[in-house]
Amino acid sequence: MNQSEAAYRQWLSEERLDPALREELLALAGDEKEIEERFYTELEFGTAGLRGIIGAGTNRMNVHVVRRATEGLAQYIRTFADGAARGVAIAYDSRQMSDAFARETALVLAQNGIKAYLYKTLHSVPQLSFTIRHLGCIAGVVITASHNPPAYNGYKVYWEHGGQVAPAQANAIFAEICRADYFAARGMEEKEALAKGLLVMIGEEVDEAYYAATQTLLQYPDLMRAHGGELKLVYTPLHGSGCVPVRTLLSRLGVPVHVVPEQEKPDSAFPTVKAPNPEDPNAFVLAIPLADKVGADVILATDPDSDRLGVAVRKKNGTFDVLTGNQIGSLLIHYLLSARKEKGTLPENGIVVKSLVSTRMADAICAHFGVTCRDVPTGFRFISEIIDRCERTGEETFLFGFEESYGFLAGSCSRDKDAICASMLVTEACVYYRQKGMTLYDVLCEMYRTYGYYKESVKSYTLAGKEGIERIRGAMAALRQDCPVEFGGVPVETEEDLRSGICRNLVTGSEQPAAVQGADILRYSLVGGAWICVRPSGTEPKLKLYIGANAAEEAGVDALLKQLTAAADARLKTLLGLC
């Protein structure tokens, strides 16, 4: 009997196993491959918490996995003298089992004597991030799988600064989780938890505090009050948690919001999309006809936990262009820096922070305005750590942070991607430029003329299961062992291995510390300014390829990007055994 089969039988023999999960496991009898997939490992807990397919097993998201994770988190919190009293804020989105997992989280914390603050209804990631600091909590938990397909759910842990836990913390929490038993962890009865003050339901006053704080980030509030009603805008929450906060905020600014009716209500099945991901242009299929009907100039879309924002803008020919995350980030940087310079509020020590796989157009914009642009590894927690450091030291002033994967944040009200705030700022930018006779598409074209043409390509290789993970690891190992010297005939100038922290110059053979360190990423800088990054996803069974190029003319950057993408794609497919 192998390890997976033994774990499967152990779960079935457990009297405390959830009845629905027992039925699910009984139906797997004799299916060796499926049993192995569910039990060959446990869901890994990292800086992004847990994430997996909902179902029975140690490699799935279910009530016992959630209770065990919370038991481990509770034991870690108890190592802090004031941790139990400060408590944990808990939010959840519209995914399957999210509300139940959130309730279980709260009650297991209560059983451990730790105060749990629980939202009464689904709420977004940025609202949870704000709430942690607003209530003075030591930690926070969000039950979400962000933009993953409907079969997934997850468990994200935040710390007192409002950002996701750091690697050392994640490792310490995971060690406590590993010491916990799947079936020993239990929650307090809800009535008892409420009576003892260990379960506190978060009220609307916290929402109001978030709205008030977010509105302070407006650059031209008087302009919004005077002309916000002239803008025509379509919004889709993609069946998620953004519907209430986005509509509330924009309506208070006087902006009429036309919501896609088929995608307005929360629905864990996300029936109108293959995946509720604003990165996918298909997320706008229902929104575009509505935008044409009402004559809208812009469409906004948020994912289920409302940390990612997608934008589509109308072009001069009347059609809509779905922007990339890099284009949205660049537009927002250009708008915010332009506005602050115009008002005389651009600080001398201002910084913009982006993930190293995001567009280098951001660097060009920041250089134009005399603002520092800093790269960090992928994962918004790195940006939140810089925000926290800026606030503590005062040495720099954080202005904006973004990731190419549609995550944006201005200011420091929240410490994670905030699609609600970003929706407000994109809307304000539309109103501002409308007074100048311009759409966001016009502004983007003007930016290309000013800063040059920057374009990027992102490709994912999904290899599910144990075998897939091994093939991804093998591909990364092969790249490290045999560094590419060119892509599509363009020579590689430097290779940066962020895991080892070494940057090697292939021309001179010299080595020096990599500018960015601490992640399983390989970055190649090519002669002429183009770049290529390869990294495994931290939350999905994927290997991701990022390519960026720039040129003075659009035709030139398009040709170079196509050339590099074809070469890098062929190399990775060979290494992954996909040819």
**144 and 95 Cβ atoms separated by less than 8 Å:** yes
Quote the DSSP letter at residue 435: T
**Model confidence at 570: pLDDT above 70:** yes
In sequence order, the β-bridge partners of residue 461 are 543
**61 and 53 Cβ atoms separated by less than 8 Å:** yes
Quote the DSSP letter at residue 54: B
Across 20-24, 52-56, 222-226, 535-539, least confident range: 535-539
**Residue 465: which pLDDT band, with cuts at 50, 70 and 90?**
confident
| pLDDT in the model for residue 573 | 95
| pLDDT in the model for residue 1 | 67
Average pLDDT, the chain: 95
User: How do residues 409-423 score in pLDDT, each as one tens digit?
Assistant: 999 899 999 999 999
**235 and 258 Cβ atoms separated by less than 8 Å:** yes
The 10 Å Cβ neighbour count of residue 184 is: 11
DSSP secondary structure of 382-429: HHHHHHHHHHHH-SSEEEEEEETTTEEEESSSSSS--HHHHHHHHHHH
Mean pLDDT (whole number) for 189-198? 98
CA proximity to 387, closest of 405, 410, 361 = 410
User: How do residues 161-186 score in pLDDT, each as one tens digit?
Assistant: 999 998 899 999 999 999 999 999 99
**125 and 147 Cβ atoms separated by less than 8 Å:** no
**Is the C-alpha dihedral spanning 248, 250, 255, 258 positive or negative?**
negative
**Model confidence at 10: pLDDT above 70:** yes
Q: From CA 121, how far away is CA 94, in angstroms rounded?
A: 9
CA proximity to 60, closest of 78, 40, 80 = 40
Percent of the chain surpassing pLDDT 70: 100
**Assigned token pair, 238:** 């993609």
CA proximity to 99, closest of 144, 152, 147 = 144
Q: From CA 483, how far away is CA 478, in angstroms rounded?
A: 8
Q: From CA 9, how far away is CA 38, in angstroms rounded?
A: 12
**Assigned token pair, 430:** 């539309």
DSSP secondary structure of 125-186: HHHHHHHHHHHT-SEEEEE--TTS-TTEEEEEEEETTSSBPPHHHHHHHHHHHHHS-TTT--
**Model confidence at 569: pLDDT above 90:** yes
CA proximity to 257, closest of 275, 231, 282, 292 = 231
**Residue 537: which pLDDT band, with cuts at 50, 70 and 90?**
confident
Catalytic residue IDs: 146
Q: Please name the residues in contact with 357: beta carbons below 8 A apart, sequence gap of 6 or more.
A: 378, 403, 404, 521, 533, 535, 544, 546
| pLDDT in the model for residue 48 | 81
CA proximity to 358, closest of 389, 336, 338, 379 = 379
**523 and 358 Cβ atoms separated by less than 8 Å:** no
Mean pLDDT (whole number) for 327-350? 97
**Model confidence at 539: pLDDT above 70:** no
Mean pLDDT (whole number) for 258-274? 96
| pLDDT in the model for residue 250 | 97
| pLDDT in the model for residue 518 | 80
Across 78-92, 282-296, 358-372, 525-539, least confident range: 525-539
**96 and 268 Cβ atoms separated by less than 8 Å:** yes
Residue tagged 């208070």 (tokens): 252
- Report the relative pairing of strands 50-53 and 116-119 from DSSP bridges: unpaired
Q: From CA 329, how far away is CA 234, in angstroms rounded?
A: 20
| pLDDT in the model for residue 208 | 98
Residue tagged 């310490």 (tokens): 172
Q: From CA 178, how far away is CA 105, in angstroms rounded?
A: 17
**120 and 241 Cβ atoms separated by less than 8 Å:** no
**Assigned token pair, 481:** 């062992």
Helix (H) or strand (E) run with residue 10 in it: helix 3-13
pTM: 0.93
